[in-house]
Amino acid sequence: MMKTIELQKQKIYCGNLMLVNAKYPLKTDDVSNLIPADMRFPDILMKRDAANVLQLIIEKLSAEKSIIPVSGYRTLREQTDIYFTSLKDNGEDFTQKYVALPDHSEHQTGLAIDLGLNKKEIDFICPDFPYDGICNEFRKTAPNYGFIERYKKDKEEITGISHEPWHFRYVGYPHSKIMTEMGLSLEEYTEFIKSYRDDCRFVYRQSLDARVEIYYIPANKEITFISMPDNCVYQTSGNNIDGFIITVWRKNDD
């Protein structure tokens, strides 16, 4: 049996896979489902799913005393204040490299987190998160649970942001794993998935018994309709540009 799913056009601008950068600004101000990324820091917030997964990784690595959240969700006003304060204190060159323009920051989505090595003094803009020790263990483990290191050194021309070893973005599994295995930034992954449609899906073998099917569907003017089997688990996400990324979990004998 099949069911029909309706996707409203405004949903293009919502979801774990939304691309927010200098070219594609944030177009929604959804502050629902925000919770502390770490209960010890109640003012540092993330979307509920992202916060729960972050804590799962931290607990798995027994990193509660070593890794702390530095910056999570920001309002438009907070991002504006940070941007212009950095311009004043650090200059234009530094700010353009490390601070996104208001409404062009992933921090306003609630899906991004800056992490730092727990030290006496922590730089709010560029916290220390090295490529060794517990920080690198987090970096290697994160894609298995839905997080990616968002701004890598070899992707600066694509992302428009300088290398930020401390900035992680929740995109959900298995997208995080696919991006990491294929060496793709979120920008590149967004374009990559556009080549897969309902009749020709990208297939990720999750295990011997299960697979994940991923495809893109362009948005219609008002409502986009997709058909989905009754017995499957699926997720939809807008790409913040022009359509939706559909993720379907299936058994290999389906």
d(CA 190, CA 192): 6
Question: What are the residue numbers of the active site?
Answer: 164
d(CA 59, CA 66): 11
Query: Could you tell me the two tokens for 100?
Result: 């996104």
d(CA 39, CA 35): 9
d(CA 173, CA 175): 5
Stretch (H or E) spanning 172: none
Dihedral angle over CA of 105, 218, 32, 175, nearest 10: -70
